[in-house]
Structure 1
Amino acid sequence: MADQTPLLCQPNNTCDPETPTKQYLPSLGSAIEHCIGEFNWCQFLQAVLVSFAWVFDAQQTFISIFTDALPSWHCTNEQIVGSRLQLDPTIGFQNICNSATSFSDVCNLPKGSWAWDGPTQASMISEWAMECESSLITGLPASMFFLGCLVGGIFLATLGDSSSLGRKNMLFFTCLLMALSSFLTAFSPNIWIYSVLRFLSGFGRATIGTSSLVLATELVGKRWRGKISVIGFFCFTIGFLSLSAIGYANKFSSWRNLYLWTSIPTIFYCMLVKIFVQESPRWLLVRGQKEEAIATLKYITSITQSNLNLAINNISPHQEENNLNVDMFYALKMLLEKKWASRRLILIMAMGLGIGVVYYGMPLGLGNLSFNIYLGVTFNAISELPSSLITFFFIDKFRRRIALLVFCLISGICSVMSTIEGKIWSQMQIGFELISFFSACTSFGVYLIYTTELFPTCVRNSALSMARLAVVFGGAFSPLLVSAGRANMVLCYGVFGLAIGVSGVFGVFLPETKDRELSDTMDEEENKVKISSEILA
């Protein structure tokens, strides 16, 4: 029979056929590590393809910056006289128009005395003539997107663990839902349909990063786990920057084109995932699907069938948590039933709240600083790149708890420093803001990697989903703080600094995971907890 190895695989032998497998494979975790612990091109290409989902995640997260923007406008040097327009650049009314600085002022001006700087269809605000609507209405689509993220995070969080979908299918279906809803958004007839479609897009987007990160890390051994995780962060930065390029290319065309330009490539990406990406062998073994796990391991390694069977069959039956007939919240129930697991989940979510406030709030608050907002947004986007590079090169050297504490404190201190006013301090505000955002980005990256290492395979997707849900929930408070910060900077950047500074302290109460093998079952992780407790005692 012809070799059915996928196109993306370039096998490399990672298991010694002469090794007496039974002697060295007492557990599920060690069996997997033994077979995929060495890194090869097949694993790398699989991880890159899986991590590329972050590109589209970033695009849909920040696309409203351009599509829902409040366009700039100008006076037309015309005056209303009765029902007709007359040119009169010297009239007093024109001075009133020129003195108008906001949309609230525009709403008091007669139509025809001002015009948009660009084409009407460049933004949904100008196309649907919503310049005089309240911020609750104009901000509804963006709010519905994040609401969708929250709801999706709750209902989809455990499906990757407790359902028969698995990591790969969760990534495929959620990406496809986000892509199709974004595609339909381009044909929205009004803001209400637009908001509903943005909710669906956020609902699908909720677990894309989680499924991608978990699947990528479970395809490699512990030595490469940290570096593979960072590929997703790079892709997120690429997505953010590519969105700026797409927005600039479409600045004189309809905002609907942005949804088409970002959704159609996502649909093609979903096809690639369905065809080429392999399911996590860890998840398959935990689910008791040994034949599928063996097939997957043969795709990403070149171990012989006999030695692979020997390695898998030496796993003790009690180490498999075959939860084929459980409800969708089974994994979350397991997390809450175990005292050590629920304690970790509470602490990690507490950290996520503070990190999320700053990670999403810093770019939104740039308008409160005395600095060009366009340059500020660009600098913030670019600052994610060195953050990813530092995480990539030093993640194997970082002690997770210490790194989180240090970067959270740096972010908090610099955020508070941004509130100091004065001629010299005002010029330094953007510098403090960039350092704070850079540290928050680095904290976020370490935070996600740390979460994947804290929880075993059978609940890892659920735990990471809940952790990301906490980050999004924290980010939901950011617009309120930014609005309050227009009158008092302390209520914006001061609260940002306090929130992320405190969040770093919660990591001190969590166990260190650097250089530790991933656990696959709750019993395996619980045994490690007991051993650690006995050593400390």
Structure 2
Amino acid sequence: MAGPSEPLLLSHHIDSDDSNVDHKTRPEALTFDNIVEQSLSDFGFWQLFQVFLVGLSYFFDAQQVFITVYTDAYPTWHCVNHTICDHSTSDICKLPRSAWEWDGGSTDKTVISDFGLECSSSLLRGMPTSAFYIGGVVGGFALALVPDGFLGRKKLIFLSTFATSVTAISVIFSTNVWIYTALKFVNGFSKSQTFSYAMVLISERLSTKWRPRATMIPFTLFVLGFMSLSGIAYLAQHSSWRFLYLYTAVPALIYCIFLHLFALESPRWLHIQGNDEEAIKVLKSMSSRDNKPYLESLVSHQLPLEQESVEEQPRYSIKDFFFQKWAFRRIVVVMIIMFGLGMSYYGVPLAARDIDVNLYLSETLNAVVELPSFVITPILLERFNRRSSVLVNTLLGGASGVFCFVSSVLGKSGLAFAFELATFFCARIGFNLMAVYMVEMFPTCVRNSALMMFRQALVVGGACCPLIASIGRDLPSVSFAVFGVAMSGFGLFVLILPETKGSSLCDTMEEQENRDQTIKTSHC
């Protein structure tokens, strides 16, 4: 069987009277990339179904990412003994416990009231959320050591989503902040690569033509998950914070069953594993009716696979980035950019609690403003090059963060909130752009590992946010300036990256390097 960088079918002369095959699509030497591009050239119902099915993992991923905005929030309180207590001027930490109580009378409304953290340091209050992100970092590096061909794309996304759901349920058994922090770390570890696994599986089952638009579907589902969390939290606002974990994790477990039964494996991954027969079957099940004769013709004119010799294909993992200078430089630059975007994307919703607006309204609006980004991102990807789009977007987002800080200092809460939304919106667009850009910059053999590192940098940026946002309670909205400067400053590194607009996906490191050299030479 041909290797992944070689033509899959060499000099297969299909009869000239074969009316089912378009002669323009039958080059003398046909690569697997040609087959994928041709068979998936029409975005039909089954492709949409597969993108939606795998993309639903983003829906539940978003709920776990942002759930601490509600479960770890500082609850409201009121005075009981008005002779010594005045809500507008009294410091809760200097009052006897009998002089005040939490609104609603519940002591387990949030983690802070349940574990008595109202007078604890910002570091301790933000520790569980930071542990979640640190767990994501540790899990990402640990899983990145696994060879890229291990298990397959479908099994990895299933296991990741299942483990995240189980660990989220385990969180409800916490009895103190230390156990809660430890379980949040495990939860973060479990979901560390949900994004990467799902994005790779979706991208490798799309043609170049449809990739910019179709990859926005899972991102849209992520936002809908964020929005649904706001609704669930509002309905459960008088219940214990533990129920919020239960309401989000149980549906995710049910989803895992459908994912296991109906999701298809990546044809590109099957190809580099030497299983072209199964890869063609996947393509046939996803292709439109007009393209099925094309695939039937390939099968009917190909030699039986069992008669061909299968060569051992090398296994790639994260260590391969250190042996290729171009790959190492590229992954480092991408991680720097994503670190800045991660600080803004995860940090701004946390810091929004310090602006004088309703928490449920502010988080819902943060989710709503993401929706237009999925219309704008494909337009940017199709009309402009990758580098310019990322650069302009990060500069605008950084400026919005600084203006948010200035508006807050001047006491203009409404204007500050508007700039907060703009900062979050730009962070979301930057994330979308970089996700598609990243897929195009690395070949199939290491794409999973590359997206793991992409996600790692994003999560490391997120891990810094709870502490920065907590400090913002003492220095109003200074966190927005920090997030904005980080987004703009690190965004400048995109100028080092190559342009990939219009490029098809490569399968091997050698193929990627050769294509990049060809593009560089042609530009010179």
Output the CA distance in 2 between the equivalents of 1:389 and 1:376: 22
Which moved further from structure 2: 250-259 or 461-470?
250-259
> Is 2:354 the counterpart of 1:354?
no
Q: Does 1:292 align with 2:278?
A: yes
Q: Cα–Cα, structure 1 residues 310 and 449, in superposed 2: closer, same or farther, change >3 Å? A: farther
Please state whether the residue corresponding to 1:115 is helix, strand or coil. Answer: strand
**C-alpha distance in structure 2 between counterparts of 1:164 and 1:59, whole Å:** 28
Distance of 2:329 and 2:479 partners within structure 1: 30
Q: Within 2, Cα distance between the matches of 1:457 and 1:74?
A: 58
> Using the alignment, how far apart are the partners of 2:246 and 2:477 within structure 1?
40
Q: 1:319 to 1:467 in 2, by over 3 A?
A: farther
Query: What is the DSSP-based 3-state SS (H/G/I as helix, E as strand, rest coil) of the residue aligned with 1:122?
Result: coil
Q: Within the alignment, does 1:512 sit opposite 2:499 as a pair?
A: yes
Q: Give per-residue Cα distances to partners, 1:383-407, cap 9 Å, x unaligned.
A: 1111222224543223211110111
The partner residue of 1:378 within 330, 352, 364 is 364
- Asked if residue 266 in structure 1 is aligned to residue 252 in structure 2, the reply is yes
TM-score with structure 2 setting the length: 0.87
Q: Which amino acid aligns with 2:92?
A: V
Q: CA deviation at 1:187?
A: 2.7
Q: Is residue 170 of structure 1 aligned with residue 156 of structure 2?
A: yes
How many angstroms apart in 2 are the aligned matches of 1:318 and 1:25? 19
CA contact (8 A) 1:237 1:381 kept: yes
> What 5-or-longer segments of structure 1 have no aligned partner?
1-14, 78-93
Cα distance in 1 for partners of 2:442, 2:309 equals 18
CA contact (8 A) 2:401 2:420 kept: yes
| Residue matched to 2:514 | 527
Which residues of structure 2 form unaligned runs of 5+? 1-18
Q: Secondary structure at the match of 2:329?
A: helix
8 Å Cα contact 1:25-1:311 kept in structure 2: no
Closer/same/farther in 2, CA of residues 182 and 484 from structure 1, 3 Å limit: closer
1:327-342 superposed matches below 5 A: 330-342=316-328
Aligned length: 497
Confirm or deny: 8 A CA contact 1:171 1:211 kept in the other structure.
yes
SS at match of 2:78: strand
Moved more, 168-177 or 121-130: 121-130
Q: In the alignment, which of 83, 86, 96 is matched to residue 110 of structure 1?
A: 96
* More moved, 387-396 vs 437-446: 387-396
Partner of 1:83: none
Partner of 1:198: 184
| 1:94-493 superposed matches below 5 A | 94-99=82-87, 105-118=91-104, 119-157=106-144, 159=146, 162-301=148-287, 302-303=292-293, 304-308=295-299, 310=301, 322-323=313-314, 326=315, 330-369=316-355, 371-420=357-406, 423=410, 427-486=414-473, 491-493=478-480
Distance change (3 Å), C-alpha of 1:216 and 1:310: farther
Asked whether 1:31 is paired with 2:35, we answer yes
Aligned-residue RMSD, C-alpha: 2.8
Residue aligned with 2:42, SS: coil
Cα pair distance change 1:24/1:107, threshold 3 Å: farther
Q: Distance in 1 between matches of 2:478 and 2:86?
A: 32
Q: Which amino acid in structure 2 is aligned with residue 148 of structure 1?
A: G
Q: Kindly tell me: are residues 312 and 419 of structure 1, through their superposed partners in 2, closer, same or farther at Cα, counting changes over 3 Å?
A: farther
Show the counterpart of 1:496. 483
Q: How has the CA–CA distance of structure 1 residues 192 and 120 changed in structure 2, closer, same or farther, with 3 Å as cutoff? A: same
Aligned to 1:91: none
Amino acid at match of 1:399: N
The Cα shift of 1:444 comes to 1.0
Contact in 2 for aligned 1:150/1:469 (Cα 8 Å): yes
1:275-330 superposed Cα distances (whole Å, 9 cap, x missing partner): 1000000011012122321222232233454513657999xx9998823xx5xxx3
Q: Distance in 1 between matches of 2:303 and 2:494?
A: 35
Counterpart in the other structure of 1:61: 65
* 1:131 positional shift: 3.1
Answer yes or no: is the 8 Å Cα contact 1:230–1:445 preserved in 2.
yes
In 2, the alpha carbon distance for the partners of 1:390 and 1:17 equals: 37
Distance 1:319 1:529 in 2: 29
Cα distance in 1 between the residues matched to 2:352 and 2:386: 30
How far apart, in 1, do the equivalents of 2:57 and 2:420 lie?
Answer: 28
Letter matched to residue 401 of structure 2:
S
- Which residue identity is paired with 2:432? G
Q: Which amino acid aligns with 2:505?
A: L
Higher mean alpha-carbon deviation, 207-216 vs 429-438, is at: 429-438
Question: CA, structure 1 residues 32+357, in 2 after alignment: closer, same or farther (shift >3 Å)?
Answer: same
| Structure 1 position 490, deviation (Å) | 8.3
